[in-house]
Amino acid sequence: MTRPHSSVRLIAEKDAFTPGTSTTIAAVFDLDKGWHTYADSVNDSGGPLLINWALPDGFEIGEAIWPAGHRHVQAGGVLDHTFDDRLVVLFPVSVDDDAEIGSDAVISASMEWLVRREPVRAPVCRGFARTPGQADERVRSRCR
């Protein structure tokens, strides 16, 4: 592959984090036309998003909340659950009561996901995004 076929950005529900509260961060994946990525479910040929969070002290990320994927049946009965065009995965964020008020809180994530276009198997893509403050910055994936 000579060019990436997807991008990701993190968007925070709120502009600021408040000690003792919960909020949500969305990972928004935009895919080039004709390409898809995989749901966090049983798939015969593809795998879901892998994510490694970097969090400030006192912050915790909960389990991902995924939408239902579309059934994608390939030749030979290979069944995957996929997303076309755009995927939004929600992550609950909890902030401890004793988190420092007025400090900058940067949440970042290193991600890997697979994109595919029939009949070509696409590369694993790696992306990096941050929130808040840079929530609208789009990060193009690097594919190999």
The answer to whether residue 77 sits within a structural domain is yes
In a domain, 60, yes or no: yes
- So what's the pLDDT on residue 2? 27
How many C-beta atoms surround the C-beta of residue 3 within 10 A?
7
Q: Percent of the chain scored above 90 by pLDDT?
A: 32
The stretch 126-144 carries a mean pLDDT of 48
How many domains does the chain contain in total? 1
Q: Tens digits of per-residue pLDDT, 116-126?
A: 887 655 455 55
Question: Does 47 reside within a domain?
Answer: yes
> Could you tell me which residues are beta bridge partners of residue 90?
26, 65
Give the model confidence (pLDDT) of 66-100 as tens digits.
998 888 887 788 888 888 889 999 999 999 998 88
Type of residue at 72: H
Domain of 56, CATH number, reads 2.60.40.1250
In a domain, 29, yes or no: yes
The answer to whether residue 1 sits within a structural domain is no
Structural domain harbouring 106: 6-134
Residue 117 lies in a domain: yes
pLDDT tens digit sequence for 8-45: 889 999 888 889 999 999 999 999 998 888 888 877 77
Query: What gap in Å lies between CA 107 and CA 44, rounded to an integer?
Result: 33
**Residue 113: CB partners within 8 Å, gap ≥ 6?**
6, 8, 29, 37, 38, 48, 49, 50, 124, 125, 127, 141
Whether 137 has a pLDDT exceeding 70, the answer reads no
Does the pTM surpass 0.85? The reply is: no
What is the reported pLDDT for 59?
93
